[in-house]
Amino acid sequence: MIPFPIQVFFYRLFMLALKLSTKILNFRQPELHTGPGSSLKLCEAIAGSGVKRLLVVSDAMLVKIGLLQPMLDRLKALDVHTVLYDGVQPDPTIEQIETGLALLKREQCTAILAIGGGSSMDAAKVIAARATNPHKIAWMAGLMRILFKPMPLYVVPTTAGTGSEVTIAAVVSDPANTRKFAIMDPKLVPVGAALDGQLMTGLPPPITAATGMDALTHAVEAYISRNATAATDAEALEATRLIMQNLPRAMADGSDLDARQNMALASYKAGVAFTTAGVGYVHAISHNFGARYHVPHGLANAIVLPYVLDYSKPACTRRLAELAEAGGLRQGSETETELADRFVSHIRALNEQFKIPQKVEKLRAEDVPAITDAALKEAHWTYAVPRYMDRPTCETLVRQMLA
């Protein structure tokens, strides 16, 4: 077995090569429409592109409450025939995606519109890729394994958290193997997106909190990543500022349209940041809580974040202090260490304020070794974490979350 210090050395060399490659790739962003009512502007852009048959991917609850209806009506008025697939559930599975693909082919749709949270957008991304590629979904797992350009995809996020409207990634659940895996390819970035805060004013507080903390996790992990650049730093710091200012407002008054719109923008900016800089151990661990226990992704990230930051802090004290500054947490002449500590403490305080637990209630002691192995397999040689974690350390950290 390779000694741990040598593992770290080669890991950092690989991360340096990855950083150089991401600079060369220069990921594109979708054509963006912003502000209340921008979802209808996106409908006009879809019609203007010549699309006549459109698969709309969403979930049954959003359809039931009528959130999609204004967009469906506008598309109909623009002579775009829509085919609705509302079979997406949290943590979309291979089976759900294949069902959507079959409907797309049967109805001869030529483009896709996703309306919903990260699950709907991720499912739509993979449907779009499967529509033009011969390989099965599991084969696409990992980096740059989509051979041909996906079918045109447009997205309207209805939560402010995942940033999937701008990222190169889609996360898929594989229940048969008790795992989640990510498909990561620049080809998955949607053609167009709308950030319409008006669609988010009815979100209940638990979803607002979990998705908001998800966006904060993206910003934080991007900022402390060894792959961070000046461009990703600017996006991550601005996202952090917006979240710290607006998430408590959105929690206090869900109808605060200004706060909702700012949170939508923060989620987008955090997505831009982590698309290039990547995420880290928080996501690697929380993905496994989702795969094994169906813990919602944003909630899992919120729980795991302070534990990982406590471990990572010695390697990124200055960066955490800068995040504290961006979040308005400086009170006087605190040192970098004091500010870094305050930032992590503030995250714990936000979790407590939003009634997010400190532990994972469903976590079982006997599952910890398998969760640890899967998390490290995902993180190492994928994420440019600031401080490398060996297996015993990771297992100890996961055990801290036992209820």
Q: Does residue 178 carry a pLDDT above 90?
A: no
269-276-313 Cα angle (round to 5):
85
Strands 142-143 and 153-157: unpaired
Residue 15's pLDDT band (cuts 50, 70, 90)? low
Average pLDDT over residues 371-397: 94
User: 10 Å Cβ neighbour count for 94?
Assistant: 18
Cβ-count burial of 390 within 10 angstroms (0-12 exposed, 13-18 middle, 19+ buried)?
Answer: exposed
Share of the chain above pLDDT 70, in %: 94
Q: Is the predicted pLDDT of residue 71 greater than 80, yes or no?
A: yes
Whole-prediction pTM: 0.92
Distance from CA of residue 25 to its chain's centroid? 20
Task: Give the per-residue pLDDT at 19.
Answer: 61
* pLDDT tens, residue by residue, 18-64: 666 565 566 789 999 999 999 999 999 999 999 999 999 999 999 99
What average pLDDT score do residues 168-189 get? 92
Strand pairing of 179-184 and 169-174? antiparallel
Whether pLDDT at 2 is above 70:
no
